[in-house]
């Protein structure tokens, strides 16, 4: 066992399940990790992973039920957000139809389950409802998109006074100079991340969480796609050294030399997005793990998100 694995094993909080309906007692350590944050960003290393949506659903439940969060922000069009939010408040109409023009990963059963939970919450708390906002993803240049995502999240916070869970691809990571390479030999594109702007504006009141995994398969446009174990130079491989199925890790809780090998070394994190070739994994780099994230939620094996029937 490496020193990095020893530290992860000792510092990690094991999570009992990814089931969004399960009790939240195993997520209790997240309460202190979030602290007095007004925006929590959750970045996922792969679209189309069922467990990532289920874990984020659990996080949303904790934030809403225990910590007073009242908005969910997603990377979707502004109009789509308004239409879905109207459904959350009234229950009228077909929510699946309102998601028709969004990315495929918002149209899966697991995310629909999140929306139906939010609607049920609003029925029980009509005077204190939860809301949804689309942060508007229409931008040709990445640098413009990143600024817009952050600005719209901050604008929604100011407009509503809500604490917000920002459910992201990888834009919510605190990447001051994040480089995305869509193939191992590509130079990649470097830009400042939305999470970097949020950290600049909010300081410690912005908490960045990252969802990572070791292996499995994901949904890609309605079909399963393999996601093999990452190469050893990918940070996700280091995070998988422990045998825990799901765990929560506070990257700010280190201090030892062993911890710093995990938190402070240059990170290279796997990305599975709209462009995906399992033989040539995409990645993001340009910072250490603790620069990108305050907290990691790691899953050993993922399965494809499911399509509504």
Across the range 101-123, mean pLDDT stands at: 95
Closest by CA position to 174, among listed 153, 205, 199, 137:
199
Domain housing 161: 3-302
Please say if the pLDDT value at position 210 is more than 90: yes
Is 145 among the domain residues?
yes
Please say if the pLDDT value at position 216 is more than 80: yes
Q: What is the CATH number of the domain that holds 222?
A: 3.40.1660.10
Is 309 among the domain residues?
no
Weakest-pLDDT range from 69-73, 184-188, 233-237, 305-309: 184-188
Is 307 among the domain residues?
no
Count of Cβ atoms closer than 10 Å to residue 23 Cβ: 10
Closest by CA position to 72, among listed 138, 142, 164:
164
**Where does the pLDDT of residue 141 fall: very low under 50, low under 70, confident under 90, or very high at 90 and above?**
confident
Please say if the pLDDT value at position 107 is more than 90: yes
pTM: 0.96
Is 167 among the domain residues?
yes
Domain count, the chain: 1
Is 168 among the domain residues?
yes
* Residues 208/173, Cβ–Cβ less than 8 Å: yes
Closest by CA position to 65, among listed 23, 113, 19:
23
- How would DSSP label each residue in the chain? --HHHHHHHHH-EE-S---TTS-SGGGTHHHHHHTT-SEEEEEESBTTBHHHHHHHHHHHHHHHHHH---EEEESS-HHHHHHHHHHHHH--S-HHHHTTTS-GGGSSHHHHHHHHHHHHHHHH-TTS--EEEE-----SSHHHHHHHHHHHHHHHHHHH---EEEEESSTTS--TTEEEESSTT---EEE--HHHHHHHHHGGGEEEEEEEEEEEEEEETTEEEEEPPPPTTSHHHHHTSS--SEEEEEGGG--SHHHHHHHTSEEEEEEB-SS--TTS-EEEEEEEHHHH-SEEEEEEEE-BPPPP-
Is 308 among the domain residues?
no
Q: What is the pLDDT of residues 124-138, one digit of tens each?
A: 999 999 999 999 877
Whole-number pLDDT of residue 29: 98
| Higher pLDDT among residues 298 and 185, named by residue | 298
């Amino acid at each position: 066992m490496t020193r990095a694995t020893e530290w992860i094993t000792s510092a990690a909080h094991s999570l009992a399940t990814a089931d969004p309906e399960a009790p939240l007692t195993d997520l209790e350590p997240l309460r202190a990790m979030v602290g007095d944050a007004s925006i929590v960003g959750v970045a996922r290393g792969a679209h189309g992973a069922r467990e990532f949506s289920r874990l984020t659903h659990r996080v949303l439940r904790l934030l809403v039920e225990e910590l007073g969060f009242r908005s969910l922000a997603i990377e979707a069009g502004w109009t789509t957000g308004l239409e879905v939010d109207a459904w959350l408040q009234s229950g009228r109409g077909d929510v699946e139809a309102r998601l028709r023009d969004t990315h495929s990963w918002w149209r899966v059963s697991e995310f629909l389950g999140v929306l139906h939970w939010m609607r049920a919450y609003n029925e029980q708390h009509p005077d204190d409802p939860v809301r949804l906002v689309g942060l508007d993803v229409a931008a040709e240049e990445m640098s413009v998109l990143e600024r817009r995502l952050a600005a719209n999240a901050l604008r929604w916070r100011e407009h509503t006074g809500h604490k917000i869970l920002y459910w992201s691809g990888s834009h919510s990571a605190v990447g001051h100079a994040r480089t995305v390479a869509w193939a191992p030999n590509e130079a990649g594109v470097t830009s400042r991340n939305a999470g970097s702007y949020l950290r600049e504006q909010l300081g410690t009141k912005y908490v960045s969480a990252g969802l990572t995994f070791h292996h499995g398969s994901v949904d890609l446009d309605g079909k399963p796609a393999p996601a093999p174990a990452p190469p050893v130079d990918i940070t996700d491989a280091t995070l998988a050294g422990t045998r825990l199925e799901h765990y929560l890790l506070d990257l700010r809780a280190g201090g030892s030399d062993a911890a710093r090998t995990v938190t402070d070394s240059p990170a290279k994190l796997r990305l599975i997005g709209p462009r995906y070739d399992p033989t040539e994994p995409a990645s993001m780099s340009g910072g250490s793990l603790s620069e990108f994230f305050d907290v990691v939620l790691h899953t050993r094996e993922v399965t494809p998100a499911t399509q509504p029937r």
